Amino acid sequence: MTADGIALVTGANRGLGRSTARALAARGMRLVVTHRGDAAGAEETARDVRAAGGTAAVMRLDLADPASFGAFTAELSGLLERWGASRLDVVVNNAGVGVFGPLEAVTAADFDTVFGTNVRGTFFLVQALVPMLAEGAHVINVSSSLTRHTSPGTSVYSASKAAVEAMSRTLAAELGPRGIRVNSIAPGPTATDFNGGAMRDDAALRDGLAGQTALGRVGEPEEIGDAIATLASEGLRWMTAQRVEVSGGVLL
């Protein structure tokens, strides 16, 4: 990551994506803020970046529709050209979906929705963006601490994130000859609006999860954003193919 470089963050209209965009902008990156349909939220993120003196643009991107990636990358190329650039320096694959429930309640449609976005969409977006990645660029795929520990009703979601981690290691090997690093970052319980904002708004749930962490609390979105920005920094330029957990020491 270099000052005035360009970072693309998927799902940056809220939660961890918004915090990540802010953290990268604070370190001098120009931001491409993507959203699936929440244009107002994405514009709010972009306004935050601009208010802090940064540069940001908003683009719509639906990870569940890889057929649209050609048009997306063409539009992205035009944006980069307007910015006097031709390459991306950082890509954060944050956008994802979660469908939670016990084994007997999960449908084939639920399974396809989760894997279609979290795995298929992430894979084919990276594929589409590879020609636009700078030498020495960094791809960061957001996973979950649930790939290490278990929680009832999360089997499909955690399996999709485990697939993302395995994919990240292989892509690190494939893209390494160009100096491109690929890592995954695994947040633990964090107070965002994910899954209906349960960890943010349900005090009893927060207290229960806090008691399972070494640090005695759930995380804040800014802490995940800062961790992602640090992972993207030149200080960790020798790190690739790694899973980095940022969970406050949950369920050790």
Contact 237, 181 (CB under 8 A): yes
Give 103's Cβ-side CA count (13 Å radius). Answer: 0
Residue environment code for 184-197, b if the CB has 16+ CB neighbours within 10 A, otherwise e: bbbbbbbbbbbeee
**Which of these, 94, 140, 87, 101, lies nearest to 121 by C-alpha position?**
94
Is 153 one of the catalytic residues?
no
State how far the alpha carbon of 160 is from the alpha carbons of 1, 99, 111, 144, 249, in Å.
Answer: 28, 11, 9, 10, 22
The Cα–Cα gap between 19 and 161 comes to 20
The Cα–Cα gap between 123 and 50 comes to 30
CA 143 to chain centre: 8
Catalytic residue among 69, 123, 157, 194: 157
Contact 84, 55 (CB under 8 A): no
Amino acid (1-letter code) at residue 15: G
Q: Can you read off the two tokens belonging to residue 73?
A: 């990358």
Catalytic residues: 157
